[in-house]
Amino acid sequence: MIRNFCIIAHIDHGKSTLSDRMLEITGTVEKRKMKEQLLDSMDLEREKGITIKLTPVRMHYKDVELNLIDTPGHVDFTYEVSRSLAAVEGAVLLVDATQGVQAQTIANLYLAMEQNLTIVPVLNKIDLPAADVPRRRAELVKLLGCREEDILLVSGKTGEGVAKLLDEVIARIPPPASQTAGGLRALIFDSKYDDYKGVVAYVRVVDGAVRPHERLRMSASGVTFEVMEAGALTPAYAPNASLAAGEIGYVATGLKSIEGCRVGDTIVREHGSAPALPGYKVVKPMVYAGVFPHEGHTYEELREAMLKLSLSDAALAYEPEYSPALGHGYRCGFLGMLHMEIVQERLRRECQLEVIMTVPSVSYRVFSMKGEVIDVHGPLEMPDQSHIMKTEEPWVRVDVVTPAEFIGGVMALCTDKRGVYKTTEYLDATRALIHYEMPLASIVIDFYDTLKSITSGYASLNYDWLEYREAEIARVDILVAEEPVEALAFLVFEKDAYRIGKSVVEKVSVRRGRDA
């Protein structure tokens, strides 16, 4: 018997802690070997308390093979989450009983419902005095239309209720409906790079089986390879003679580049004709910034560091850029602001490299007078105004969950950031979910921090891609002693150009004043 599931939650609601308890209770990892948040494999993840890489883990409990995928709770990684959801039959919807449903709880729930997953609602952190079980239960009943008695109560910290949760996962989530016969199809939901095994794909086998030494092919990228090893993660590699339909595990490909092994792609036989699984897409970076070596470091060091990082981060895009002020560097594309922060941290920790990052920019679409369409990722790429017919900028749907007393403040902020109001829903009498449409550029800088400060830290935010819309975008050049300084240039909504330009000049003058 097999059950495949994942845990979805808003950030900090306790996914990783609960996974740890499951590993313990099932005897997958001995208690004395347990270090906190075992599935968060990067140091950075453990420290920041976020999950970036999805580590699938196999456990055995009461004769059932349980495959669990820990998903990242952050909006930057929505596509990765959607692919792990496509790899399982059910999801534990975990809600912190002291915080209640938050913006990313709802976003992840909708993703799970799109995949027709069985939802097991769970309130966590019931050991805390501030846990308000009756109120949070009512919230979940309203959101899911489930019965009160369907909602399980656990504490990932003390382990209370976790064994019962595993029983319910087995009872409520259906077994995989995969075919063992026919052609091979395996869904890639993540990958990592290993010095010995090359690119390792994390997969859900949907049809057929994967065995060592077989020749296989990635459907979308066309890359072929010979299986070095396949098996389960416990969470260490546990190689096996086969990884069969319905199972989740890893396939070591020996490939040297992660580029050919994309999340959402389907692994098939080298000459097989099985159609690819649905849902594959190439995720485009949302935010761009220039990355340059800091004083004391060279372009060569930066180049090596970027190569190294991109081995384990397929979403990181970069191309060379030259700035007269900062020298040779790269224009990098990130999935969002958190992804950008992670890259900067990893450059520092894993490559001992300090970098300068320029002001982040979204990707603008410029229609030239000649009829060309150009993606512009930064001020240096912006053509002269006289060549531009029109410019479009990315818009996103924004969902904010906030206590009702802050609704006025949140709406004022969104309006100030060029937001277009859509609707408001109430989660209960005291908390609201507000929907806006907004230019992505408005969210990239300061929005989250401002939102947190005007709501005393209570609001939560989620956004997703909407469309490109026409906008008047200006390139602002800052002149120092009448010379434009390219490193300070930025792209901005025309009406905000003066206000933001002024604040940059003020900041620069203060700094110069201090340096003097």
Question: Residue 293 or 336: which CB sits closer to ligand GDP?
Answer: 336
Torsions phi, psi for 6 (to 5 deg): -135, 170
Give, for 448, the enclosing helix (H) or strand (E): helix 447-454
Please, what is the minimum distance in Å from the beta carbon of residue 78 to ligand GDP? 16
Beta carbons within 10 angstroms of residue 465's beta carbon: 15
First-residue to last-residue Cα distance in the chain: 72
Question: Residue 55 or 155: which CB sits closer to ligand GDP?
Answer: 155
Residue 460, interface with Mg ion (CB under 5 A)? no
Region from 43-51, 330-338, 459-467, 495-503 binding Mg ion, contact rule CB under 5 A: 43-51
Please, what is the minimum distance in Å from the beta carbon of residue 272 to ligand GDP? 38
Question: Residue 6 or 356: which CB sits closer to Mg ion?
Answer: 6
Question: Residue 17 or 361: which CB sits closer to ligand GDP?
Answer: 17
Instruction: Catalogue the E-assigned strands of 36-149.
Output: 56-61, 64-70, 90-96, 118-124
Residue 417 to residue 288: CA distance in whole angstroms: 20
Cβ–Cβ < 8 Å for 153, 126: yes
Number of residues near Mg ion (by CB under 5 A) = 3
Please, what is the minimum distance in Å from the beta carbon of residue 327 to Mg ion? 38
CA distances from 131 to 123, 210, 430 (A): 9, 46, 16
Question: Residue 109 or 434: which CB sits closer to ligand GDP?
Answer: 109
Collapse the DSSP code of 148 into the 3-class scheme (helix H, G, I; strand E, B; otherwise coil) and give the result: helix
Of 10, 73, 64, which Cα lies nearest the Cα of 39? 73
Please, what is the minimum distance in Å from the beta carbon of residue 42 to Mg ion? 11
Q: Which option in Mg ion, ligand GDP, none does residue 155 bind, with CB closer than 5 to 8 A by kind?
A: ligand GDP
Question: Residue 17 or 266: which CB sits closer to ligand GDP?
Answer: 17
Residue 19, interface with Mg ion (CB under 5 A)? no
Question: Residue 15 or 475: which CB sits closer to Mg ion?
Answer: 15
Q: Which option in Mg ion, ligand GDP, none does residue 125 bind, with CB closer than 5 to 8 A by kind?
A: ligand GDP
Please, what is the minimum distance in Å from the beta carbon of residue 46 to Mg ion? 9
Which residues are CB-neighbours of 32 under 8 A, at least 6 positions away?
A: none
Please, what is the minimum distance in Å from the beta carbon of residue 18 to Mg ion? 9
Please, what is the minimum distance in Å from the beta carbon of residue 29 to ligand GDP? 15
- What is the Cα 459 distance to its own chain's centre? 20
Q: Which option in ligand GDP, Mg ion, none does residue 496 bind, with CB closer than 5 to 8 A by kind?
A: none
Given the rule CB under 6 A, which residues bind ligand GDP?
9, 11-17, 37, 49, 51, 73, 124-125, 127-128, 155-157
Residue 17, interface with Mg ion (CB under 5 A)? no
Torsions phi, psi for 350 (to 5 deg): -85, -20
Question: Residue 55 or 344: which CB sits closer to Mg ion?
Answer: 55
What does 233-296 look like in DSSP terms, one character per residue? Answer: ESSSEEE-S-EETT-EEEEE---S-GGGS-TT-EEEETT--PPPPTT--PPPPSEEEEEEEPTT
Please, what is the minimum distance in Å from the beta carbon of residue 336 to Mg ion? 17
Please, what is the minimum distance in Å from the beta carbon of residue 14 to Mg ion? 8
Give, for 510, the enclosing helix (H) or strand (E): helix 497-515
Work out which of 51, 253, 344, 455 binds Mg ion, going by CB under 5 A. 51
Which residues are CB-neighbours of 278 under 8 A, at least 6 positions away?
A: none
Q: Which option in Mg ion, ligand GDP, none does residue 333 bind, with CB closer than 5 to 8 A by kind?
A: none
Cβ–Cβ < 8 Å for 454, 435: no
Q: Which option in Mg ion, ligand GDP, none does residue 231 bind, with CB closer than 5 to 8 A by kind?
A: none
Contact residues for Mg ion (CB under 5 A)?
A: 15-16, 51
